[in-house]
Amino acid sequence: MSDNKPVIDMRSIVKSFYVGTPNELEILHGLSFTVPKGEFVSVVGASGSGKSTLMNIIGALDRPTLGQYFLDGTDISKTDDKTLSEIRNKKIGFVFQTFNLISRTTALKNVELPMLYAGKGKRERTEKAKELLEMVEMTERMSHMPNELSGGQKQRIAIARAMANDPSIILADEPTGALDSKTGRLVMDIFHKLHREQGKTIVLITHNNELAAETDRIITLADGNIISDIDNRPNLKHSENSVKLNKDGDI
Amino acid sequence: MNFSEYILMALASLKANKMRAFLTMLGIIIGISAVITITTMGNIMRKTVKDAYSSVGANAINIYIRLKEKPKRNYYEDGDFLTDSMIEQFAEKFSGRVDNVGKEENVGNAVTRINHKDYTLSLDGADEGYSVLSMSKIISGRFISDSDVSRMKQVCVISDKQANKMFGNANPLGQTVTIMFKNKTYDFKVVGIYKYTTSGAASGAMSAMDSSWNTRIFIPISTAQRIAGYDTIGRYWEFYLNGAESENVEQLSQDIVDYFNSTYYRNNDSIEVKYYTAEREMQQFDNILSVVSIIISIIAGISLLVGGIGVMNIMLVSVTERTREIGVRKALGAPNTAIRLQFIIESMIICLIGGIIGIILGIILGNIAGMIIDTMSAPSIPAIIIAVTFSMAIGVFFGYYPANKAAKLDPIEALRYE
């Protein structure tokens, strides 16, 4: 990639929750890492490792308590709610474990939704949504309601929706977690395709090491710290700080 | 995101819960339809009464005697009544200021038998002057004349409807109508036919709502008093007149009353003369109507309040049910304002649809009530505009709290909601 400015630049991110003064619970203890444009990175860790908290911060759903988070070069650690929602709309494409399609509207309308909030015109929305549905091979199902679709189909719609505003990063939270291995494979292939063909930056949150092993880089969290950050590209296997993980993702 | 998108979104979510949406609307429907029904009915009644008054003329005045507020005695004596000579002198004195002076007295109901069936007639004594005041349009023959009165003739004027019933297609003039009154039988010769109308007439203006009016039979007032068994004939409780065109009805009425009271009742410690005008009756009717309107409006207001609370309740349920959806929308970039607007518009649409159904229902109910008195009426446009605006306002007012709650949800919590 010619542009080597990182898409995600986390500097000493601390996140604490107040669970009743004076005690506060620190979940993330000063994480720092960068993700360059076009990287397919996975964040792994057991439950309670701070994975979800980190994901919420990456996805601009939450702000860090301390530290700075530059997304595409802008510091979003101190922005207001309105700006955050704009950032989510334009720069982040969420893919959830449970798909989270809006149940009362068609597949097409679901894909149009982020563009609706971005204030795009009807014709532009529909055109782009159809294009994206074609990309995930769901054109035939575009007027179906979510409850008429299988899990794999729903997730493909959700990926199309995540791509709607051409975001800087796709943030996928256990995207295959609710799918059988065959359809999970299909979904992963779409991510690989987006990465390979469109150069998308993808952050995959998972506790499945096999899936993580498919990505360029594996960041492992435990107890709110990054305990390993492995460059997993075939030609550069195992960098110095790599830590061997067992099957459960524990150290 | 433009407005029509929000409306489509709201309609989609209401469609998903049709029954619930309808039940929620019910309070609004009842409230709005009550208001529209009463305004429609009010319009119908006002129109009916106005028609009756306009036929008698707004310048009709009724002069009558009554007990003073604090009378020395609470019964009437011989000298208390209005007499022919008093009324004649008055008419002379006020000539030019008054147009018709007529006497009328209803002495009660009589029965006539047609084809072995009894019909009730309202027995109405009248004189020549009352012809115009009665506003009963004579379609053949003539009205009661002054000579009929002075000679106490047994002649009558009946409605075309009654004539048709009694004599079929034969010429009713000159025919005999036999009536039973106070256990005696009398024969009256028909001298005139008046056109039957539904909205009453004449001092009928004063009792336009009284349907028995339509069966009235006019006979000379002296004859009426005689067969009613009065000791003295030619004494009256009241009489009617029309003010001349140039006269102010209230002023004229006051002058007449002053004339009578100063001329004849100055020394009477118990009786006085008062007046009554169509205009005043109209006003009184309006007063009654506005009291009824206020009562119905209060009921409707309570119903709308309860309805509004129902809407708020269901919107709160809806927000809770859709917590996850709200989270997703926020994750996809919906700002708080968009979420708030989405729910406010949804609650507004519930209320608006409820309001429209209420308006339609109100018009139907109002006109069903109107059919009973044979008049149809469109509801007042201002009432509809107010009803629509008000129902939308309820939607905004009661929708704001749930919508705001939705808008303020934390996206992370909302996404995690099961």
Distance CA A156, CA A160 (A): 6
The percent of residues in chain B predicted with pLDDT above 70, rounded, is: 92
What distances in angstroms separate CA B258 from CA A46, A180, B80, B248, B272, one per listed residue? Answer: 105, 103, 16, 15, 10
Res B56: pLDDT = 61
Q: Which of B3, B20, B332 to mutate to test the interface with A (most CBs of A within 10 A)?
A: B332
Query: Looking at the DSSP assignment, which residues form a beta bridge with residue B102?
Result: B240
Q: Chain B contacts of A105, Cβ < 8 Å?
A: 12
Pick from A106, A105, A60: nearest CA to A86: A60
CA distance B324 to chain A (A): 8
Q: What is the pLDDT of residue B288?
A: 85
What does the alpha-carbon distance between residue A21 and residue B169 come to, in Å, rounded to a whole number? 103
The helix or strand, by DSSP H or E, that contains position A114, with its residue range, turns out to be helix A107-117
Indicate yes or no: CB of B336 within 8 angstroms of CB of A102. no
Residues of B in contact with A205 (CB under 8 A): none
From residue A142, give the alpha-carbon distance in Å to each of A119, A132, A160, A161, B295: 21, 11, 11, 12, 55
Instruction: Tell me what pLDDT residue B228 has.
Output: 92
**Chain B residue numbers touching A102 (CB-CB < 8 A):** 325, 328-329
- Show which residues on chain A lie within 8 Å of chain B, measured between beta carbons: 56, 59, 61-62, 81-82, 85-90, 92, 94, 96, 100, 102-105, 113-114, 116-119, 161, 165
Q: Which helix (H) or strand (E) holds A132?
A: helix A122-135
The DSSP output letter for A219 is E
Q: Which residues have a Cβ under 8 Å from the Cβ of A175 and sit 6 or more positions away?
A: A95, A96, A97, A155, A158, A159, A187, A188, A191, A204
Q: Which residues pair with A69 in a beta bridge?
A: A10
pLDDT at position B263 is 92
Cβ contacts of A89 on chain B, cutoff 8 Å: 332-334
Beta carbons of B338 and A117 less than 8 Å apart: yes
Q: Distance between CA atoms of A113 and B410, rounded to whole angstroms?
A: 20
Mean pLDDT of B194-202: 60
Helix A151-162 with A107-117: angle, nearest 10 deg: 20
For residue A83, the distance in angstroms to the closest alpha carbon of chain B comes to 9
Residue B5, pLDDT score: 86
Residue B198's pLDDT is what? 56
CB B319 within 8 A of CB A75: no
Selecting from B15, B332, B336 the residue whose C-beta is nearest the C-beta of A88 gives: B332
| Residue-wise pLDDT tens digits, B313-337 | 999 999 999 999 999 999 999 999 9
Instruction: Point out the residues of chain A with pLDDT beneath 50.
Output: 1-2, 237-251
Q: List, for residues B367-411, the tens digit of each pLDDT value.
A: 887 777 666 777 778 888 988 898 899 999 999 999 999 999 999
Is the Cβ pair A61, B415 closer than 8 Å?
yes
Q: Environment class of residue B387 by beta-carbon count within 10 Å: exposed (0-12), middle (13-18) or buried (19+)?
A: buried
B8: contact with A, CB 8 A cutoff: no
In this complex, which of A87, A102, A161 lies closest to B325 when CB atoms are compared? A102
Contacts of B325 in chain A (CB under 8 A): 102-103
Q: A106 to chain B: nearest residue by CA?
A: B12
Return the higher-pLDDT residue of B370 and B187: B187
CB A170 within 8 A of CB A41: no
Residue B101 Cα distances to A153, B88, B240, angstroms: 93, 9, 6
Cβ–Cβ below 8 Å for B335 and A86: yes
- B222 token code pair: 């002296």
Q: How high is the pLDDT of residue B57?
A: 65
Residues of B in contact with A81 (CB under 8 A): 335-336
> Do the chains contact at A100 and B328, CB–CB below 8 Å?
yes
CA dist., res. B176 & res. B167, Å (int): 10
Stretch B245-265: mean pLDDT, rounded? 91
CB contact under 8 A, A104 and B324: no
Q: What is the mean pLDDT of residues B22-39?
A: 89
Cβ neighbours of B330 in A, within 8 Å? 61, 85, 88
Q: Which residue has the tokens 């795009």?
A: A120
pLDDT band at B284 (very low <50, low <70, confident <90, very high): confident
B152, B226 Cβ separation under 8 angstroms: yes
Which member of B324, B332, B411 has the closest CB to residue A117?
Answer: B332
In this predicted structure, what is the pLDDT of residue A3? 54
pLDDT digits (tens, 9 = 90+) for B341-374: 999 999 999 999 999 999 999 989 888 877 776 6
For chain B positions 13-52, those within 8 Å of chain A (CB to CB) are 13, 15-16
pLDDT at A244: 46
What pLDDT, on a 0 to 100 scale, did the predictor assign at position A207? 87
User: What is the crossing angle of helices A122-135 and A151-162, to 10°?
Assistant: 130
Q: For residue B47, what pLDDT band results from cuts at 50, 70 and 90?
A: confident
pLDDT, position B49: 73
Residues B177, B189: Cα–Cα separation, whole Å: 6
* A169 within 8 A of A92, measured Cβ to Cβ: yes
Q: Closest Cα of chain B to A220: distance in Å?
A: 22
Sign of the dihedral defined by the CA atoms of residues B105, B111, B114, B117, in that order: positive
Number of residue pairs across A and B with CB atoms under 8 Å?
65
Q: Is the minimum CB–CB distance between B83 and chain A shorter than 8 Å?
A: no
B179: tokens are 């009536």
Question: Strand A40-44 and strand A217-222: pairing?
Answer: parallel
Question: HSE of B113 in the Cβ direction (CA atoms, 13 Å)?
Answer: 7
The answer to whether B408 contacts chain A (CB < 8 Å) is no
Give the chain A residue whose CA is nearest to the CA of B338: A117
CB of B274 within 8 A of CB of B66?
Answer: yes
Confidence at residue B204, expressed as pLDDT on a 0 to 100 scale: 42
Interface of B with A in 322-361 (CB under 8 A): 324-325, 327-338
Nearest to B411 by CA among A62, A206, A94, A115: A62
* Nearest-by-Cβ selection for B412 from A62, A113, A118: A62
Q: What CA–CA distance (Å, rounded) separates A199 from A189?
A: 14
B5 and A116 within 8 Å at the Cβ level: the answer is yes
Q: What is the pLDDT of residue B214?
A: 57
Considering the domain A37-63+83-246 in this protein, what is its CATH number? 3.40.50.300
B376 touches chain A (CB under 8 A): no
Over residues B100-130, the pLDDT tens digits come to 899 999 898 899 888 788 888 889 999 998 8
Question: Is A94 strand, coil or helix?
Answer: strand
Report the gap between the CA of B287 and the closest CA in chain A (Å): 53
Query: What tokens appear for B81 in the block?
Result: 């009544």
Cβ–Cβ gap B325/A117 under 8 Å? no
To the nearest whole angstrom, how far is the Cα of A88 from the nearest Cα of chain B? 5
B328 chain-A contacts, CB cut-off 8 A = 96, 100, 102
User: What are the backbone angles phi and psi of residue A207, rounded to the nearest 5°?
Assistant: -115, 15
Domains in chain A: boundaries: 37-63+83-246
